[in-house]
Amino acid sequence: LEFYRAEVPALSGGAAALQAEVVKAVAALEDFERFLKGELLARSTGNFRMPDPHLRRLRRTTQGHLPILEDIVQRSLADFNNIRRDMFLVCIPFYKIMYPEIDIEQLGRTKGEEATRTTVIQGVLDKIKDDHVSREEFVERINASMGGIKEFIQRKGLLDLPAETLTIKPMPGYFPPGRWEILASPGAFEAAGDFSLYVKPIPEAWSDEEAASFLEEHSNYYIDFMTIQKIYPGTFVPTVMTRRNPSVIRRVAPNQGLLKGWPIFLEALFMENGYKDYDLRTRLNQLKLLLKTVIDFQMDVNVHEGTWTKDKVMDYMTVRGFMTRTEAERRWNQIVLNPGAAAQPYIGYQEILDMEKDCRKLKGDAFTVKEFLQKLLGHGAIPLRHLKTLMAQ
């Protein structure tokens, strides 16, 4: 509202016709604000959960396909345990050096397997969390990360990247709250245009403690994989590929499962191909982000189709998911405000793994991951049920 009250008049250059419309817009927004705070708030029951039938309809609409949710839930439970086990195995040699006075085997006998894993993993993460940029350097660090990621993909021949350029920009203050990255692409009816990725700087209103908590979560060992998933290639590459298809419908309503799931598949390829010279601290943080993806899916289901409270979700994220409290708070808000969205990356990732398995059977020794990815993205972000049929041909 302040944008229309203060900034638009300054940008209008004194144009009378525009100013007259701005006055009308401000009046309409103020009227809507009164409705939200008055009549609508009075009718509110305080229940933010989306009813099960509506949530499943939303998933079907945004993904174009609804896998059997119970099957995906079972996969997530297995993945949760397996990822934590892999993180524990990575951490053992570090923990022995960092905490020489503690006997891990004795720890296991006294605390049990799961509690020991949590203690060891968190102990190692605590020792490396201070390796991060300052709050003023956050957006520029992402820009630098994008350049290194692009160079690695090209050098290793993992994927033929599109020629289109993605520009990283600080997110203006009037963008929707709660979003930390927004891809701005040409409209569905536009033949061409620029691609920009707006990244939210660390808010000035945050205390030093809140900023430090956020930056510890986004350490130099973690931020590259966050960039792969959220920034570049992120949703940018499949969005570019989708725009090459003449279908306007595909441009208007791309499949969110593919857009958000494919970079998770790519992250594992980075480690397999020696990203950061197989640095185990990097591997640990890649696994941590994968664990977050699993937890996001689980919490989306448990909150909107179950009865999980904020306290229970926060405890699960911070203790078993190793997130800082600032990060867990941010993700809780996203789950509450965007029902179904947090589940999309994991569901899409699982569908892509299924397609890879089918393609390996079909191609045999002729299968290559690069060819699989090119074909996967080449059809654009279409509904997964159609994509599966095309991938099997």
pLDDT at 235: 92
Mean pLDDT by 10 residues, the chain (393 residues): 80 79 90 92 79 62 60 94 98 98 95 96 97 95 95 96 93 81 86 90 91 94 96 93 80 84 94 95 97 96 90 97 94 90 92 94 94 90 82 84
pTM (2 d.p.): 0.86
What is the distance between the alpha carbons of residues 338 and 34, in angstroms, rounded to a whole number? Answer: 23
Q: Which helix (H) or strand (E) segment is 261 a member of? A: helix 256-272
Q: Where are the domains of the chain?
A: 2-44, 56-69+131-391
Q: What is the DSSP string of 232-251?
A: SSTTHHHHHHHHTSS-HHHH
207 exposed, middle or buried (CB, 10 Å; 0-12, 13-18, 19+)? Answer: exposed
What is the distance between the alpha carbons of residues 255 and 344, in angstroms, rounded to a whole number? Answer: 10
pLDDT at 329: 93
Q: Which residue has the tokens 């998770």?
A: 264
The pair phi, psi for residue 167, each rounded to 5°, is: -105, 130
Cα dihedral angle (365, 371, 377, 382), rounded to 10 degrees?
-40
Q: Residue 53, Cα to own-chain centre: how many angstroms?
A: 25
**169 pairs with which residues across the strands?**
198
ω before 238 within 30° of 0 (cis)? no
Q: What is the DSSP string of 145-211?
A: HHHHHHHHHHHHT-----S--EEEEEPPTTSPTT-SEEEE---TT-S---EEEEEPPPPTTS-HHHH
What is the distance between the alpha carbons of residues 355 and 386, in angstroms, rounded to a whole number? Answer: 12
The answer to whether 256 touches 344, Cβ cutoff 8 Å, is yes
What is the distance between the alpha carbons of residues 141 and 130, in angstroms, rounded to a whole number? Answer: 15
Tell me the per-residue pLDDT of 218-272, one tens digit each, with 9 for 90 and over.
Answer: 999 999 999 999 999 999 999 998 888 777 777 777 888 888 999 999 999 999 9
Neighbour tally for 77: CB within 10 Å: 12
pLDDT at 58: 60
Neighbour tally for 27: CB within 10 Å: 10
pLDDT at 188: 79
